[in-house]
Amino acid sequence: MFFIPNGNKYKENWKNFDVFCTNIEIDESNILSLAELYGKRWNIENFYRDAENNFMVKTKTADLIIRYFFFLFMSLLYNLWYFVRIYYPITAEEWKDLVEEELVKENKMERIINMLIQLKLFYSSFLQRYRSIFCYYFLRYSKFSNKNLCKPLF
């Protein structure tokens, strides 16, 4: 366990320190780097908590492309909120409501989903047509030696 001053000046002394628990051996040379590492991890944990509670799009589809699109959309919303709150203090829930209101106002979400379907159709036809080219580069620059893994579809 180690303590790092956090720069606050509260009357209660315990509020002026950040406390870290670890099973890593601590000495003067690594204490600041460990605190920085834990701080980065804390940001990641906050991202997942905020994203799951406020930015995750609820879907029942099993289509991985659509689920991946929604994950990227959620990440974009989270990063925009993180940037906006530097200049304008707004909670994640208020940001979510604001974005949701704008998307619903003009049926923008329906247009986004239709665009996603079109992109999926384009990419699937593109990959089918050029599959042998992609496989060639994959096999050439990877450790796989079996050239029969990828055969052209036509």
What is the predicted pLDDT for the residue at 130?
Answer: 59
CA dihedral 72, 74, 80, 81 (to 10 degrees): -160
Is the per-residue pLDDT at 94 higher than 80? yes
Is the per-residue pLDDT at 145 higher than 50? no
The percentage of the chain sitting over the pLDDT mark of 70, rounded to a whole number, equals 59
What is the predicted pLDDT for the residue at 10?
Answer: 73
The percentage of the chain sitting over the pLDDT mark of 90, rounded to a whole number, equals 0
CA dihedral 36, 88, 90, 56 (to 10 degrees): -70
What is the predicted pLDDT for the residue at 129?
Answer: 64
Is the per-residue pLDDT at 149 higher than 60? no
pTM for this prediction: 0.46
What is the predicted pLDDT for the residue at 146?
Answer: 47
Confidence tier at 9 by pLDDT (50, 70, 90): confident
What is the mean predicted confidence (pLDDT) over 62-73? 78
Q: How far apart are CA 74 and CA 57, in angstroms?
A: 7
What is the mean predicted confidence (pLDDT) over 31-38? 76
